[in-house]
Amino acid sequence: MSWTTKPSATTKIPTRAEPYCTQAMKDRWTRELLPRYATKQGALMPILHEIQHAYRHIPYQAMVEIASFLSIKPADVMDTVTFYEEFHTEPVGKCVIGICQSIACEVCGHQKLLDHVRNRLGIEPHETTDDGKFTLLALECLGSCDTAPVALFNETLHENLTIEKVDRLIDEAARMDGKGGGGHH
């Protein structure tokens, strides 16, 4: 899980005129999402997933909009966003590489993999390449200790990783973007 500092009352929250939660989204949520949950708050997770997917992060303004849509406090939305690794308050790359750093993976050489990706992409954990292609994360146990070391490339879990396999996955991700290369700082 990730803990980020909450902006204090004096922090200026960047806003834009155009809402992140569009009227079309809200209409659809009202129609399709809200009826599925006993309380409005129940719809928070699927809404956060949609916003994360649509904008590659969940800006503070979007949290405020979601809170008002669900009639809950913005702080409650922010607590949820900062609790889950899958949500980001800054835009993430098209390919998010999450290397497991918990004990089984640590024993099986996660550091070698992490160092390799750091060097190849020129980023530290929680950073994104300048070209917006890759974000690197170090994650807690992904529940696949018997096939350590493991990593997530976006939503897909890759097991028994080696540097060669990781390189192939990065090559594939870079190719899928259509431009090739990893992108260095």
Residue ranges binding ligand FES (CB under 6 A): 100, 102-105, 141-145, 148, 150
Across-strand partners of 96? 135
Q: Which is nearer to ligand FES, 113 or 174 (CB)?
A: 113
Q: Which is nearer to ligand FES, 58 or 138 (CB)?
A: 138
Min dist CB 138 to ligand FES, Å, is: 11
Min dist CB 78 to ligand FES, Å, is: 28
Min dist CB 164 to ligand FES, Å, is: 19
Pairing state of beta strands 156-158 and 151-153?
Answer: antiparallel
Cβ burial of 56 (10 Å; 0-12, 13-18, 19+) is middle
Min dist CB 139 to ligand FES, Å, is: 8
* Cα–Cα separations (whole angstroms), residue 95 to 45, 62, 156: 21, 22, 11
Across-strand partners of 157? 152
Contact by Cβ (8 Å): 101, 114: yes
* Cα–Cα separations (whole angstroms), residue 48 to 44, 45, 52, 72, 114: 6, 5, 6, 14, 28
Q: Which is nearer to ligand FES, 64 or 100 (CB)?
A: 100
Q: Which is nearer to ligand FES, 97 or 105 (CB)?
A: 105
Tokens of 175: 């190719």
Min dist CB 76 to ligand FES, Å, is: 30
Q: Which is nearer to ligand FES, 141 or 163 (CB)?
A: 141
Q: Which of 3, 2, 9 is nearest to 74 (CA)?
A: 9
